[in-house]
Structure 1
């Protein structure tokens, strides 16, 4: 697929999410503190905020072909019925994407004021030499 193929970019985004899921499964050096979650949830918020538009635009080739009377359904199926099914499912997906966006934005707002309490952690204690 060329760089101008929209489906390729969705494939790349899916691969990025798969990689995130793989590397974020356990706490590690770069995945320990609330600030790490703030950054991740912020990026996730940005990503899901674009899903509704991506859902809408993902059906454009079908709609374009349908509007020109050129959609054919395997085994002689009814194009009008299948396109109506697609449009109804797209509306459901758009609503779900909007709800997901709202929920992830609330997550980002909730994690925003969080930080690490360094009390009693030796590597964060002030050694008193600054006084």
Structure 2
């Protein structure tokens, strides 16, 4: 396990993707061949595959807290806020599943592609 909180781990993931964005801006060592793209897409696919579970677990926490009357809204609109939250998480979960499927297609497409001098 880890000593980091879920929020810290999500921040680490965001930082890693930001780092990936910088590392892939220009061709460089370890970012010049189709195999490099294949590996990156494989890892992004793996990440996307795990996102629906994480999103579902966020929703489970909110539902648990709500069921035990541990939530309130600063705006006095808890029911509306919860509907927004649950709806947004459901949309995010569906988007993550679509992202995983798309990355899997890209990964499969990259499989036979090779560098040619």
TM-score of the superposed pair, with normalisation by structure 2? 0.91
Q: Bigger radius of gyration, 1 or 2?
A: 1
Structure 2 portions without partners, runs of 5+:
none
2:74 match: 74
Q: Output one character per residue of 1:27-55: Cα deviation in whole Å (capped at 9) or x when no partner.
A: 01211010110111111110111111111
8-17 or 52-61, larger mean C-alpha shift: 52-61
1:85 match: 84
**Helix, strand or coil at the partner of 1:64:** helix
2:41 match: 41
Q: Which has the higher contact order (CA 8 A, sep 6+)?
A: 2
Aligned residues: 116
Provide runs of 4+ in structure 1 moved above 6 Å: none
Deviation at 1:107, TM superposition (A): 0.5
Q: Please state if 1:97 is matched with 2:73.
A: no
Deviation at 1:90, TM superposition (A): 1.2
Structure 1 portions without partners, runs of 5+:
119-131
Deviation at 1:65, TM superposition (A): 1.4
Deviation at 1:66, TM superposition (A): 0.7
Higher helix share: 2
